Amino acid sequence: MTEQQGFTVWFTGLSGSGKSTIAEMLYHEFRARGMKTEILDGDEVRKNLSKGLGFSKEDRDTNILRIGYVADLLTRNGVATIACPISPYKETRDAVRAQIGAFVEVHVDATVEEIAAHRDPKGLYKKALAGEITGFTGVDDPYEAPEDPEIHVDTLSQTPEGSLQHVLTRLKELGRVDDDRMLVTGDRVHSGLTDLRVSDAGTVVKEH
């Protein structure tokens, strides 16, 4: 049996851009291919590995470096690792890339205006734009978009399935998967590894 080679797919983008949605779908695609896989979701990691950290630049960097450390351990042990934190700072993402090596950066692109208008169920963007919340990424705290990511998805023009298909196609081109067909269709059982909402039937509620 050929041993699986580990790698990390690192989704970066604004809060609400669709990172967790695509990451969850990719997780099920990897599992359908019999691959060992794990998800490191930014919000879930903050509840456990990074509990107590705030949102200063230093704390944000610490959180990302912790996720990168765990992703590196998983990758070295043959796991197809999916990470989907905001990771707003290029320097820190580049440090994680250098540490892991087998690293595929995915920029999940959506504008603040689109997210605020259509994907802001808690009204956080509206509060940040009104000055009621400070230090909000993409509003009054910087988000440094990747300059040359391996994969770019535009969730303003693509459906979740379209974004997933683009990711799978690029992963095949990069030699990370053998088949870029979508193997999982219909509702997906929640992995329990992301903060996506769950329906009463236990499936993922699409929000992108």
* Residue 87 a catalytic site member: yes
Mean of pLDDT values over 163-169? 97
* Residue at 132 is within a domain: no
* Residue at 178 is within a domain: no
* Residue at 193 is within a domain: no
* Residue at 207 is within a domain: no
The rounded Cα 176 to chain-centroid distance in angstroms is 17
End-to-end distance of the chain based on CA atoms, in angstroms? 38
pLDDT of residue 2: 59
pLDDT tier at 177, thresholds 50, 70, 90 = very high
Report whether 98 contacts 68 (CB < 8 A): no
Q: Strands, DSSP E only, in 34-171?
A: 37-41, 80-84, 103-109, 151-154
CATH number at residue 85: 3.40.50.300
* Residue at 105 is within a domain: yes
* Residue at 150 is within a domain: yes
* Residue at 25 is within a domain: yes
Q: Among 55-69, 86-100, 126-140, 188-202, whose mean pLDDT is lowest?
A: 188-202
Q: How many structural domains is the chain composed of?
A: 1
What's the pTM? Answer: 0.88
Residue 200: strand pairing partners: none
Range of the domain at 58: 7-111+143-173
pLDDT mean across residues, the chain:
88
pLDDT tier at 193, thresholds 50, 70, 90 = low
Q: Among 50-64, 67-81, 143-157, whose mean pLDDT is lowest?
A: 50-64
> Catalytic: which of 15, 17, 20, 87?
87
pLDDT tier at 31, thresholds 50, 70, 90 = very high
* Residue at 21 is within a domain: yes
pLDDT of residue 44: 75
